[in-house]
Structure 1
């Protein structure tokens, strides 16, 4: 109620004017007040943006700005990026994206500059826009403040949480490699928003996802999938799922970087993330590789969960694997293997599920691949540890 009273009585322009106060503590209180107003919802956020708060805030960065002030400033910028109903105006997003890119880039340059005093020559490689802002960012080159990094990364995560046009604004700043680097930061308060930002970016177009892949995000994700915090594991698995939803070229990069074992481990631990994406977008050979990594048994075991949405995802993944087997002419052998792993019993039970979509999906699988004793008399070479699909020109071993 207090904030609405302040805004409705015209205090916002006064707060913005106080940003320019020569008395730093007054200016900082104005930053803090504006940050609280910005965080109170999309309507107040937009009022601030319409009053040109963004350029007024950016003007406060100088070589003499204390770290504490910069923390409040970055937090306020982060709040200006929040809320999705509606999203912030694109013009403001572009300005804040450039600013946050420069903040994070400056902190990155500092770490390198600290190693060699003669790295001043590196500054000439910065873009002309960065060079124009550099006088107000020099102070940041002496910082590696985790709070500034955290709030800046959260701001990027808010800006990238939207449609592909908004993601593109963030990607075009060139910030993705820095975000990938921050995914390995020692502070969880930095890792979490950096990972969320990358997860948003790889949920975009194939080209936007490729930018993250080119920045070697696939080398970082396996580490985060084994992180001690379950929430980080989940975010990393979500990012992996989005990459697995891409074209077969990106799926192949996922395989090459050794991400199938952690994906299968995630499945064994009860997560369905990525299984349907991978099996629908991958080539036959890539789906074979997934099954070779032990995914089929893990996928079948997930049919015991109670969440109907998860069950539908798993049934779709199983259907996709059968479609790959059809292309190899090995449907009957896969049917027998699924039965031996207990999958047939579980799929049959799902025909009694309360959810109509689950019933239909389970019934369809039974009708297509298990009806009328189709698997009777099929000879399987090997055991469930080394199951072989053969055609005249293709041989693939499915290892479990």
Structure 2
């Protein structure tokens, strides 16, 4: 199971309606009592005379006169569902389906039946598939138009459990006639229950989570909703809206542009200062996606004060949040030199250098390494010198010792090569020693880089060879040192200075 699937499953577990002994049972009992009181007289007037009697057998449950069981028989149906007899289970589920299919039934029966179906859909994939195969999705949609808010809520729960199970079921829901129009239309219900609103947002957000993402025409309907409701007072709704924006903004410039045009960037940046990590995380992930767009989009976020609000999160105790902050910063430093300057002037380099040190987790070090390498790769000579002063050469060499990823090795070698090239040009202009070469040598850089000369990745091999030959060639250095010593040695005098005795009999060329 991928990391994305694990994260999605954790979100599903928080949402999916399950039969528990805690709040779920209390709520169910309260709702049942309230419904019973509200419709007591109606049920007495509509006492059924169809002679429907539930009969048990070892293999199935059948109804006399093909009728539908009353609410009094639900405990027996539930007992049948929990049976080990598959035929009995199937018959019990079919009876529940009949209960929610009969329009004339009092709302209590529908409510109880939908509750059971919703719980079944919250189970394993096979259990949810069993309900879907009974063509239950159209029935859920039919009950979204009910005048009873409790029935609508249970239908929404059931739909959410189906959508959250897998992409295949999500697509079946999307294929229903006027799917988005029906679901979004629930917001127009008078005195709508807060739970219904949150469940609707969860459904819409989860629809966006699967890959490939929703097509652009569908996201256009959802972006305004998510952008507006991130201002909601309910944190659960805000979180689901943020996840919806995160999924929509993932890799699509058209969607990013549409989100920015909604004017929600100031709110997104403000949410970074929220005390709840559950809000901070999807907010920074969404912003990271927005920063992956063209530089003009990045400029817009920087103008709104992103770097000020982001600085507080870089010291967060949560690894996942710090990782996302580094990723956002790497997207900024991958831009133009003006954007790199803003990151440096905002005081991020000491924090990035700290995160690259060996004291931090590997995933944090990797993301911080990307920030440093982006500055080196796209920065000016002055910007690179600032990175060097923060110890980037030592940090790149340390990271090369532990990194097993070819991609990470390449970015480190590429950054070192660029630093040594720029410092060599500076040394030649000032007629002085290349001080960056000295730093590399003092930190065992020759030995570390030499290990990659015969690497199977050609790019790694070429980079390491180029660095060693151009800047760290020990043979050339030794030859130069020997040559300097040779010129001042006695052997040089013996081989090259003339024997002045042979000129004693000759007239000097110059007279003084």
TM above 0.5: yes
Q: Is the 8 Å Cα contact of residues 454 and 461 (structure 2) preserved in structure 1?
A: yes
Aligned residue number for residue 71 of structure 1:
198
Aligned residue number for residue 32 of structure 1:
157
Q: Does residue 300 of structure 1 match 2:403?
A: no
Cα shift at 1:208: 2.1
Higher relative CO (Cα under 8 Å, sequence separation at least 6) belongs to: 1
Cα shift at 1:350: 2.9
Aligned residue number for residue 393 of structure 1:
none
Identify the match of residue 21 of structure 1 among 146, 151, 154: 146
Q: Is the 8 Å Cα contact of residues 28 and 69 (structure 1) preserved in structure 2?
A: yes
TM (normalized to structure 2)? Answer: 0.62
Equivalent positions of 1:82-121 (< 5 A) are: 82-84=209-211, 86-105=212-231, 107=232
Compare CA radii of gyration and give the structure with the larger one: 2
Q: Provide the C-alpha distance between the structure 2 equivalents of 1:49 and 1:211, rounded to a whole number of angstroms.
A: 34
Q: Is the 8 Å Cα contact of residues 39 and 82 (structure 1) preserved in structure 2?
A: no
Q: Does residue 185 of structure 1 match 2:274?
A: yes
Comparing 245-254 with 14-23, greater Cα deviation is found at: 14-23
TM (normalized to structure 1)? Answer: 0.78
Q: Provide the C-alpha distance between the structure 2 equivalents of 1:319 and 1:373, rounded to a whole number of angstroms.
A: 19
Equivalent positions of 1:217-296 (< 5 A) are: 217-268=306-357, 269=360, 270-271=365-366, 272-296=369-393
Q: Is the 8 Å Cα contact of residues 221 and 236 (structure 1) preserved in structure 2?
A: yes
Q: Provide the C-alpha distance between the structure 2 equivalents of 1:23 and 1:326, rounded to a whole number of angstroms.
A: 77
Q: Specify every segment of 5 or more residues in structure 2 that has no aligned partner in the other structure, as ranges.
A: 1-125, 482-512
* SS of residue matched to 1:274: helix
Cα shift at 1:214: 2.0
Cα shift at 1:213: 1.7
- 1:225-258 Cα distance to aligned partner (Å, 9 max, x none): 2100111111111111111101111111111211
Q: Provide the C-alpha distance between the structure 1 equivalents of 2:331 and 2:459, rounded to a whole number of angstroms.
A: 24
Q: Does residue 370 of structure 1 match 2:370?
A: no
Aligned residue number for residue 85 of structure 2:
none
Superposition RMSD in Å: 2.3
Aligned residue number for residue 284 of structure 2:
195
Q: Does residue 151 of structure 1 match 2:240?
A: yes
Aligned residue number for residue 321 of structure 1:
419
Q: Provide the C-alpha distance between the structure 2 equivalents of 1:198 and 1:360, rounded to a whole number of angstroms.
A: 36
* SS of residue matched to 1:336: helix
Q: Is the 8 Å Cα contact of residues 149 and 193 (structure 2) preserved in structure 1?
A: no
How many residue pairs get aligned? The number is 339
Cα shift at 1:178: 1.4
Q: Is the 8 Å Cα contact of residues 271 and 279 (structure 2) preserved in structure 1?
A: yes
Cα shift at 1:6: 4.2
Q: Provide the C-alpha distance between the structure 2 equivalents of 1:89 and 1:360, rounded to a whole number of angstroms.
A: 43
Q: Provide the C-alpha distance between the structure 1 equivalents of 2:298 and 2:197, rounded to a whole number of angstroms.
A: 31
Cα shift at 1:318: 0.9
Q: Does residue 47 of structure 1 match 2:149?
A: no
